[in-house]
Amino acid sequence: MNPMNFVILAAILFSIGASAVLLRRNAIVAFMGVELMLNAANLALVAFSRLHGQLEGQVMAFFVMVVAAAEVVVGLALIIAVFRARTNISLDEPAELRG
Amino acid sequence: MVNDVLFWVIAAVTVIPATSLLFARKAVHIAMSIVMVMVGLATAYVALEAPFLGIVQIVVYTGAVMMLFLFVLMLVGVDQREELKETLKGQRWIAFFAAGGIGTLLVVQISRVTMPVYRPDNPLVGEPDVIAVVLFGKYVLVMEVLGALLIIAAVGALVLTHVPRLTPRQTQNERARARVLAGANPVNKPMPGVYARHNALDVPALDPEGKPIPESISRVLKARGQTRDGKEFLPPSKSEGIEQ
Amino acid sequence: MLSLTWALIAVPLASALVLLLVGKRGDSWAPWAGVGASGATFVVGLGAYIELLSRDASDRSHHQHLFAWITGGELKVDAGLLVDPLSLTFVLLVSMVGTLIHVYSVAYMAEDKNRRIFFAYLNLFIAAMLLLVLADSFLLLFVGWEGVGLASYLLIGFWNYKPEYATAAKKAFVVNRIGDIGLIVAMGLMFAAFGALDFETVLGGAAGASEATLTGIGLMLLLAATGKSAQFPLQSWLGDAMAGPTPVSALIHAATMVTAGIYLIVRSAAIFNGAPTAQLVVAAVGAITLIMGAVIGMAKDDIKKALAASTMSQIGYMMLAAGLGPIGYAFAIFHLVTHGFFKAGMFLGAGSVMHAMKDQVDMRRFGALRGAMTITWVTFGVGWLAILGVPPFSGFHSKDKIIEAAFVGEGWQPWIFGGAALIGAGLTAFYMSRLFFMTFHGKARWTDDQHPHESSWLMTVPMIILAVGSAFLGLILASGDRFATWLEPVTGHVEHHDPVLSIPVIIGATLLLVALGAFAAWRLYGAREVVPVATQGSLATIAARNDLFQDQINEALYQRPGQHVTRMLVFADAAVVDGAVNKQAAGFLKWGESWRRLQTGYVRSYVGTILGGLLIVLLIVVLGGL
């Protein structure tokens, strides 16, 4: 089995995650979509690492995970702050920036 | 080489739960599905000769990140159901064309690429010791910066979720003082029937000065006229000052 | 005393400032301070005159440089004073008549609680007028020119609590500004042609300039002169200017300021000599105004307005003389001086009458004042004879010369101008006699509360001095052409020209017309009873009473079209200029509105945009790889 198949799998997962961000109004669900997209990218990185026989891809994936962890912490803190202010975590509610 | 069966299993274990992101109503179900996806991806990493990353994936994503998600879900209300009806006009079509288009184009482009596969006799496996050499050798600076980023993110999350106290906390002493100043009775209300000789619910309690406390009797008994004034319990000299 | 000429301006100016700033505590001594400042200028002027007279005739010009005033690029103007026979004539006239009128005002304004301000303004006027005549450049002259305009405005509106007086002041101010535009444009043309504004360069270089340039400058100077001197077509303000206190009318609107236009033209003689067309226009303006003023004067019942019309007419004579070229300049100034005396005297007489008659100005309410106010009657009578041109009074010597000069020339001009001057003399005789008879003769038509009495000596003494001047000044100055010789360094020497008619014929005709006019006035207003309320009169009378409809004409010709043009411009400004800008702005606004729709405020829309961009990038990659 060619590792390229994993790259295709990563592409499919990425588009599923993107659809989730586009479609779901629940901030947490949308956020999970973002996580899925990040993981898809990670999968591609690992697959390429395997393809080229180099460790850099894995190291990059590792860094992505760290950054994603930091992002999750801040992002969820934001969601909680928004929830405190609005008792609601719909992404469509805070539309004050409407032009 | 990766076993074909293993790939298809991994594909099924990741893609099918991932679609719950689009169709499931309850956020908890979605979170659990994503945990499933994460485990599948960890398996994929191991299959792709990156066992360290696979373990890290399990620990970080299924262990930490997804648990954090669940935690927040509990905090904001696990019952929050989401209406799947679209509110933004045309958003469905946008999602369909954007996400679908991206997926299709990526798949098309990737399948057009042919890449020589690295097939050594003893393949380079991402064991922790091998990764460590790279991480703490070539990328040590990035590593340190990321450490700083994590700390900053943690502090940032604390700051964001912290609710500052705007007024100083009231002590018990201050609360008691405020109650007395407001004109409340300084002592606790005694139960009726203190010093009872018979069915004492109809006898008012006496305050430390020996006066009956009318409030200590049930309103119902008062309305029925079944109370007693408690005069009989007072010393004779003070009986004039007692009121019902 | 020549080195002290700066004091001529500085002393009254300082006095004006002190009087304005000193506050109420100066009320008691302010009138006499004003008189003192004005008298000081007369003393200095007289000293300068004596010093200049002791010099040789060709050397009678003293130029005093004060300071470098404006230095900007090619324009360099120094502030300096030029004392020569012409300016000194004015200095003496202004300071002497001015001082007399100051003295007169002490009594005339004694009841006014703002008299300190009044004397401050009078001193300001003296300073500005002397600056005007002493300036050595057109620009410095312009400062004085505006200064007298300001003083005139302030003094006409001195009693500005009456709205119509304030309006009169405003009218004088605005009409004068129209003339000022002429002076400004003239200065611009001078700078373009000669690169300088001082008299020496401009007048010295005039001979070398083209006739078109000189004509342009001359016409613009004439516009300035018509504004200041109330000549046609800017004459309308003078009648209303009589709203000011009578001493002001005497000093500013009869004797001195209104003659500034004549001064300007005579001073710019070198320019006009090179521009015959401009000269012709000057003479024509003079001729038109002298007839017009006389016609208006014939119908006016308001004694001050009648005198104002007469002033207009007499300045018309001077303008006519100035337009005749070198032969007329000296006579213009000569008539200006004599007119300054007799007209100021008559205005003071009118003021005296008004003072006696409780500020009544309607001549139909006067009559028979001869007995009650003998001194006024006599002094006024002398002025009357002088303006009529009865020999040997002043007017005869000055006006007759102008009439003679008007008859000099070739073709149609002498007949037109001479005829106008001659008819004007007859009309003058009629309206001045009418005024005189209506005021001092006939039966008393006073209202019940009027008890005429002679004025105090403070008022009569100046009148007497002016009357003496009116009587003999002409004779003194005319004997042996003394005045013309005195002015010769400025106006140039002129050979004697023979008029188209012989001189005795002209004098005879003039005297005959004067006698006829006076006789007609006697028949109509002296011998016959004058009705206290004016009858309707003929169409011509109505026209003359309404100042020949000058205000209506101005309104119809300038104001209404101006208003319409303004309205049109405002509309065009709103519709075209603002419209373009506003439409453009509105367009941008709409454009922005359409872009605003992209900012929905929904995070998911933004994500859609981002992913759309990614889609496009991918499309390029994929299609590019095909």
C37 exposure class (CB count in 10 Å sphere: 0-12, 13-18, 19+): buried
Q: Give how far Cα C48 sits from Cα of C8, C53, C89, C432, Å.
A: 10, 8, 11, 36
Averaged pLDDT, C514-538: 80
Share of chain B above pLDDT 90, in %: 27
Model pLDDT, residue B140: 93
Q: What is the pLDDT of residue B243?
A: 47
Q: Which residue has the higher pLDDT, C608 or A1?
A: C608
Mutate to test the interface with C, among B88, B92, B93, B96 (most CBs of C within 10 A): B88
Residues on B contacting C at a C-beta cutoff of 8 Å:
88, 91, 94-95, 97-99, 101-102, 105-106, 108-109, 112
Q: Is residue C594 part of a domain?
A: yes
How many residue contacts between A and B have a Cβ separation below 8 Å? 228
**pTM, 2 dp:** 0.63
Q: Which residues in chain A touch residue C618, judged by CB atoms under 8 angstroms apart?
A: none
Q: Around Cβ C624, how many Cβ atoms within 10 Å?
A: 7
| Domain A4-86 belongs in CATH node 3.30.479.30 | no
pLDDT at residue B3, as a whole number: 79
B25 band by pLDDT with thresholds 50, 70 and 90: confident
Distance from the Cα of C609 to chain B's closest Cα (Å) equals 9
Report DSSP state, residue C140. H
Q: Which range of residues forms the domain containing residue C600? A: 556-624
Q: What is the pLDDT of residue A9?
A: 93
Check: CB of residue C61 under 8 Å from CB of residue C489: yes
Q: Do A58 and B53 touch (CB under 8 A)?
A: yes
* Listed residue (A69, A18, A67) closest to A40, CA to CA: A18
Confidence band (pLDDT; 50, 70, 90) for C30?
confident
C195 domain-assigned: no
Q: How far is CA C135 from CA C139, C144, C228, in A?
A: 8, 8, 17
- Predicted local confidence at residue B80, as pLDDT: 63
Tell whether the model's pLDDT for residue B14 goes beyond 90: yes
Phi/psi of residue B196, nearest 5 degrees: -80, 150
- Say which residues have a Cβ less than 8 Å from residue C213's Cβ, sequence separation at least 6: C189, C193
Check residue C89 and give its pLDDT.
87
The answer on pLDDT for C533 being more than 80 is no
CB-nearest partner of A96 from C595, C596, C601: C601
pLDDT digits (tens, 9 = 90+) for C370-419: 878 888 888 888 888 888 888 888 888 888 888 888 888 877 888 888 88
Q: pLDDT at position B24, please?
A: 87
What is the pLDDT at residue C249?
85
| Contact C565/B at CB under 8 A | no
Q: Is C73 a residue whose pLDDT tops 50? A: yes
Distance between CA atoms of A47 and A71, rounded to whole angstroms? 24
Closest in A20, A31, A58 to B126, CB measured: A58
Residue C562 lies in a domain: yes
pLDDT of residue A33 exceeding 90, the answer is yes
Contact between B109 and C618 using a beta-carbon 8 Å cutoff: yes
Name the nearest CA neighbour of C103 among C532, C624, C458, C554: C458
CA distances from C8 to A4, A29, C199 (A): 109, 97, 20
Number of domains in chain C: 1
Q: With contact defined as beta carbons under 8 Å apart, do B210 and B238 qualify?
A: yes
Interchain contact, A9 vs B14, CB within 8 Å: yes
Contact across the interface for B160 and A58, Cβ inside 8 Å: no
Taking only the tens place, the pLDDT of each residue in C269-322 is 888 888 888 888 999 999 999 888 888 888 888 888 888 888 888 889 898 888
Nearest residue to A29 via CA among B92, C606, B19 = B19
Q: What does the pLDDT look like over B85-142, one tens digit per residue?
A: 777 778 888 888 888 999 998 888 888 887 777 676 666 787 888 889 988 999 999 9
C548 Cβ neighbours under 8 A, 6+ residues apart: C292, C295, C296
Considering only CB atoms, A76 lies closest to which of B68, B82, B98, namely B68
CB contact under 8 A, B105 and C615: yes
Looking at residues C531-556, what average pLDDT do you find?
76
pLDDT band at B13 (very low <50, low <70, confident <90, very high): very high
User: In the block, which residue shows the tokens 């043309």?
Assistant: C189
pLDDT of residue B197: 54
Closest-CA residue to C601 (of B88, B242, B204, B165):
B88
**Structure tokens given for C619:** 């499309």
Interface test with A, best of B20, B21, B79 (most A CBs within 10 A): B21
Closest partner CB to A62 (pick from B34, B49, B56): B56
- Look at residue C53 in the predicted model and tell me its pLDDT: 83
Rounded distance, CA B52 to CA B57, Å? 9
Task: Report domain extents, chain A.
Answer: 4-86
Query: A34-52: string of b/e by CB count within 10 Å (b at 16+)?
Result: bbbbbbbbbbbbbbbbbbb
C-alpha distance from B174 to closest chain A C-alpha (Å): 30
Residues C457-467, mean pLDDT to the nearest whole number: 86
Report chain C residues whose CB lies below 8 A from the CB of A94: 601
What pLDDT, in 10s, does the model give residues C91-132?
Answer: 888 889 899 988 988 888 888 888 888 889 989 999 999 999
Instruction: Please give the distance of CA C238 from its chain centroid, rounded to a whole number.
Output: 8
CB contact under 8 A, A22 and C598: no
Residue C577 is assigned to a structural domain of this protein = yes
Other residues' Cβ atoms within 10 Å of the Cβ of residue C418: 25
Residue C571 lies in a domain: yes
Q: Are strands B212-213 and C75-83 parallel, antiparallel or unpaired?
A: unpaired
pLDDT recorded at residue B82: 63
pLDDT at C72 over 60: yes
CATH fold for the domain made of B1-81: Four Helix Bundle (Hemerythrin (Met), subunit A) (1.20.120)
Residue B153: pLDDT band with limits 50, 70, 90: very high
* Per-residue model confidence as pLDDT tens digits over C328-373: 888 888 888 888 888 888 888 888 888 888 777 787 888 777 878 8
Summary mean pLDDT of chain C: 85
Query: A-chain residues within 8 Å CB-CB of C603?
Result: 30, 91-92
Q: What stretch of H or E contains C21?
A: helix C5-21
Q: What is the pLDDT of residue B242?
A: 47
Cis peptide before C163 (omega within 30 of 0): no
Give the pLDDT of residue A94: 65
For residue A97, give how far its alpha carbon lies from the nearest alpha carbon of chain B (Å).
16
Name every residue whose Cβ is closer than 8 Å to that of residue A66 and which is 6 or more positions away in sequence. Answer: B146, B149, B150
- pLDDT score of B143: 92
Q: Looking at the complex, does the CB of residue C575 fall below 8 Å from at least one CB of chain B? A: no
Q: Where are the beta strands (DSSP E) in chain A?
A: none
Interchain proximity B88–C602, CB inside 8 Å:
yes
Rg (CA), chain A: 17
Given this model, what pLDDT does residue B37 score? 94
pLDDT bracket for residue C258 (50, 70, 90) = confident
Closest residue to A59, CB basis, from B15, B27, B134: B134
Residue of chain B nearest C617, judged by CA positions: B102
**Rounded Cα–Cα distance for residues A90 and B76 (Å):** 11
Least confident of B198-207, C136-145, C171-180, C233-242: B198-207
Neighboring chain B residues of A20 at a CB cutoff of 8 Å: 21-22
At B84 the pLDDT is 67
Tokens of C342: 């007799």
Distance from CA of A74 to the nearest CA of B (A): 5
Among A68-77, B10-19, B195-204, C16-25, where is mean pLDDT lowest? B195-204
Residues of chain B contacting A60 with CB distance shorter than 8 Å: none
Cα angle at C462 between C37 and C358, to 5 degrees? 105
Q: How far is A11 from chain C (nearest CA, A)?
A: 12
**Interval C166-212: pLDDT, tens:** 888 888 898 889 889 999 999 999 888 888 888 888 888 888 888 88
Amino acid at C52: L
Burial of B244 (0-12, 13-18, 19+ CB in 10 A): exposed
Q: Please give the angle made by the CA atoms of B149, B155 and B157, to the nearest 5 degrees.
A: 100
Nearest-angstrom CA–CA distance, C440 and C488: 41
Residue range C488-496: mean pLDDT, rounded: 75
Q: Which secondary-structure segment (H or E) carries C286?
A: helix C276-299
Q: C 583-612 residues with CB below 8 A of B?
A: 600, 602, 604-605, 608, 611-612
pLDDT for B42 equals: 94
List chains touching C (3+ CB pairs under 8 A).
A, B
Highest-pLDDT range among A28-42, C22-36, C510-524, C538-552: A28-42
- Tell me whether residue C372 is in a domain: no
Tell whether C601 is covered by a domain: yes
Query: Does the pLDDT of residue B239 top 80, yes or no?
Result: no
Structure tokens at A39: 């993981």
Residue A3 CA to its chain's centroid (Å): 22
What percent of chain C is modeled with pLDDT above 70? 100
Asked if the model's pLDDT at residue A62 lies above 90, the reply is yes
**Domain edges within chain B:** 1-81, 127-159, 187-241
- Flag whether C326 is in a domain: no
What pLDDT is recorded for position C58? 74
Q: Is B98 close to C621, i.e. CB distance below 8 A?
A: no
The distance of C586 to chain B (nearest Cα, Å) reads: 29
